[in-house]
Amino acid sequence: MENKIKKAADLLRKSRFTTAHTGAGISVESGIPPFRGNQGIWNKYDPRSLEIAYFINHPAESWHIIKEIFYCYFNEARPNTAHLVLAEMEKQGLLGRIITQNIDNLHQMAGSVEVYEFHGNSGKLVCLGCNRTYPVSNISLDFIPPTCRECGGLLKPDFIFFGEPIPQKAVAAAYDAASISDVFLIIGTTGEVMPANQIPFLAKSNGCKIIEVNTEPSNFTSSVTDIFLQGKAGDVMDRLSTELFASPLDNDQDSVD
């Protein structure tokens, strides 16, 4: 593992442009459960509650579940070491962009600036009537479904429901990252969710090196990953940051095994 950490740090120091591609696994150590897997949210809740058609037709029923999942679980979450390391990498000029599948706002709370959210953000609500947006902190969820102060329309969390398109800005940023990055740093995503799971494959086809941080092998590990760093995101990123920020640049172009 130590040798892999050193090689990963070397790749990151030499990279002209690095993109981090993050999923639910990076936020587990912040207290947010993953959606999939044995302990996933969808084992407890019916994912139909987040289908856009169901939400529009049954807003109160959907909002009861949405409030419990996203505004009880998420409100207490704070950035962990992995989020903080990525923010420091950006500050040090070692990370150009974050493409995240998460909606928890933890990257921004950690200090990251160049964050593109594939699935939106739970911190805002949008009116389905007039498109006005509100910080969720400005809207009481004591009475649900919440409604717009301007037009009385239904308010919806500003993240992507099943049946909605991915924001074009995030898609464009992801495809651009896949074309210009020397290194993709995958953290905490198993590669099961389309179309986000296609971006590392596109990056790889463009000659990008892939560093993967996951607790278990993923759909990327045996197909595109060059260096697999197995472990919890916070632990691995802490070790990687120690090597990355402490070691001088090595100009020897060693190959990755």
Quote the distance between the C-alpha of residue 246 and its chain's center.
27
What is the phi/psi pair of residue 228, to 5°?
-105, 115
Specify whether the CB–CB gap between 173 and 116 falls below 8 A: yes
254 class by beta-carbon count within 10 Å (0-12 exposed, 13-18 middle, 19+ buried): exposed
3-state helix, strand, coil in the chain (%, to 5): 40, 20, 40
Specify whether the CB–CB gap between 223 and 68 falls below 8 A: no
What is the secondary structure of 93-138 as a DSSP string? TS--EEEE---S-HHHHHT--SEEETTEEEEEEEETTT--EEEGGG
d(CA 110, CA 257): 32
> Is 119 one of the annotated active-site residues of the chain?
yes
Specify whether the CB–CB gap between 41 and 195 falls below 8 A: no
| Alpha helices, H only, 166-232 | 168-180, 199-205
User: Of the listed 21, 83, 107, 119, which one is catalytic?
Assistant: 119
For residue 132 the two structure tokens come to 């006005």
d(CA 19, CA 257): 21
**Residues forming the active site:** 119
